[in-house]
């Protein structure tokens, strides 16, 4: 027999694994007893109400476990103990407080922090007390770290700054970003609406059939995106569709490859009127694979060590997307230029008024 407490978003429930339950063997009991703390698990069982109050969990029910899957194993020895971090500030010495801040992903799993935190990101580069520091151009990495902190769903909106020389009708150096990150239960497509969808390969074939040659493992440019939108409108009578399974080589290093073909990825873009408005994907949540892929993309893993370490403490499968507000408004209203829905647009040539 083995007991374990499962936690999600601050709530905990007591689980009992016993050979007296249907389908539970002694090997399974030993397996469950050996799972590292803070590992991510899926539990299937029967809920029951015990006769005596439960003191070790927030929910006053038991789960008699029938099946248990370890989705992602945490490292055997964690840098901080969640129970210690959950103690009141009066009990916490300065040294422990510093440790909690050093391993924030674990610290924000405590009940108090689950009720407190909201994410707010700024952007830029600066000298921070004698050492170089970089404020993110998007909340991407910190959204993922917050998912690792057991928030389940993370939503953020705020200014995004891009130092890029893009002199186009749809690019700005400053725009309003709407970002979402969500735990994945089964597959990254579970949150997609019932919208017209094509794989990237199918989109390339549509373009090829129309006489437009596109690199099957490359990306689409503005002209090919517009052409594909035109073809979709002519064939399906809609200007709103999803293109998914992009080539892995054209997506960020943290994108999850497709399980059946590593040349492609669990990623997607959403289009309106032949232009992309949303870009998203499932993220890599296995730290060893994440570090390997970052190095393959030419990234010094030492510069993102705290990000990669976040996944060593137990990380659920997750994914998300980003939306540029001004671009959505531009396309929805048919304005033709992204500067029109921006109150005071900033581009490579304009910094005033």
* pLDDT by position in tens, the chain (length 353): 888 999 888 889 999 898 888 888 899 999 999 999 999 999 999 999 988 888 888 888 999 999 999 999 999 988 888 777 666 555 555 546 667 778 888 887 877 777 665 333 433 455 545 665 554 456 788 899 989 888 889 888 888 887 767 788 888 888 889 999 999 988 888 766 678 999 999 999 999 999 999 999 999 998 999 999 999 999 999 999 999 999 999 999 999 999 999 999 999 999 999 999 999 999 999 999 999 999 999 999 999 999 999 999 999 999 999 999 999 999 988 888 888 888 888 888 888 77
Instruction: Catalytic residue, from 37, 66, 153, 162: name it.
Output: 162
Distance CA 41, CA 70 (A): 4
DSSP bridge partners of 242: 197, 270
Buried b (16+ CB within 10 A) or exposed e, 285-308: bbbeebbebbeeeeeeeeebeebb
Active-site residue, 83 included: no
Question: Which two three-digit tokens encode residue 76?
Answer: 């055997």
Catalytic residue (one of 100, 109, 170, 285):
170
Q: What is the DSSP string of 197-217?
A: EEEHHHHHHHHHHTT----TT
Examine the residue annotation and report whether 202 is marked as an active-site residue of this protein.
no
CA distance 113 to 108: 5
Q: Which of 100, 156, 327, 342 is catalytic?
A: 327
**Which strands make up the sheet holding 2-8, listed edge to edge?**
2-8, 11-17, 62-72, 40-48
Q: Are 58 and 36 in contact (CB under 8 A)?
A: no
Q: Is 142 a catalytic residue?
A: no
| CA 281 remoteness from chain centre | 8
Q: What is the pTM of this model?
A: 0.77
Catalytic site residue from 7, 171, 197, 273: 171
Q: Beta strands of 162-260 (E only): which ranges? A: 174-183, 197-199, 240-244, 257-258
Q: Which residue has the tokens 């403490």?
A: 313
**Choosing from 156, 181, 276, 326, which is the catalytic residue?**
276
Q: Which two structure tokens, joined as six digits, stand for 66?
A: 């029938």
CA 261/CA 245 separation, integer angstroms:
10
Choose the catalytic residue: 273, 279, 292, 346: 279
Rounded Cα distance between 24 and 19, Å, is: 5
Tell me if residue 276 is catalytic. yes
Mark whether 312 is an active-site residue: no
Question: What are residue 15's DSSP bridge partners?
Answer: 4, 63
Active site residue 171: yes
DSSP state, 40?
E
Evaluated on CA atoms 62, 66, 72, 77, the torsion sign reads positive
- Which of 8, 164, 223, 288 is catalytic? The answer is 164
Is 251 in the active site? no
């Amino acid at each position: 027999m083995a007991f374990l407490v499962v936690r999600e978003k601050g709530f905990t429930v007591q689980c009992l694994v016993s050979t007296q339950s249907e389908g539970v063997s002694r090997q399974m009991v030993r397996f469950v007893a050996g799972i590292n703390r803070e590992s991510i698990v899926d539990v299937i069982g029967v809920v029951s109400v015990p006769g005596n109050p439960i003191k070790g969990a927030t929910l006053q029910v038991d789960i008699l476990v029938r099946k248990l899957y370890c989705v992602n194993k945490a490292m055997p020895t964690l840098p901080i103990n969640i129970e210690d971090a959950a103690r009141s500030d009066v009990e916490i010495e300065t040294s422990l407080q510093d440790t909690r801040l050093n391993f924030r992903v674990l610290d924000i799993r405590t009940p108090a922090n689950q009720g407190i935190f909201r994410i707010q990101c700024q952007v830029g580069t600066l000298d921070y007390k004698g050492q170089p520091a970089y404020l993110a151009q998007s909340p991407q990495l910190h959204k993922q770290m917050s998912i690792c902190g057991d928030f389940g769903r993370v939503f953020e909106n705020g200014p995004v700054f891009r130092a890029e020389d893009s002199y186009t009708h749809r690019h700005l150096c400053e725009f309003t970003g709407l970002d979402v990150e969500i735990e994945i239960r089964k597959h990254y497509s579970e949150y997609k609406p019932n919208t017209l969808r094509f794989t990237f390969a199918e989109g390339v074939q549509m373009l090829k059939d129309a006489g437009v040659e596109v690199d099957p493992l490359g990306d689409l440019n503005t002209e090919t995106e517009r052409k594909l939108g035109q073809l979709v409108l002519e064939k399906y009578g809609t200007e709103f569709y999803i293109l998914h399974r992009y080539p892995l080589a054209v997506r960020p290093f943290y994108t999850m490859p497709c399980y059946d073909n590593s040349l492609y990825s669990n990623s997607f873009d959403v289009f309106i009127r032949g232009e992309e408005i949303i870009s998203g994907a499932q993220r890599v949540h296995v730290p060893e694979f994440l570090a390997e892929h970052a190095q393959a993309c030419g990234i010094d893993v030492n510069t993102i060590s705290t990000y990669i370490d976040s996944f060593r403490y137990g990380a659920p499968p997750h994914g998300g997307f980003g939306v540029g507000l001004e671009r959505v408004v531009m396309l929805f209203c048919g304005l033709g230029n992204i500067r029109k829905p921006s109150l005071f647009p900033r581009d490579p040539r304009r910094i005033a008024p």
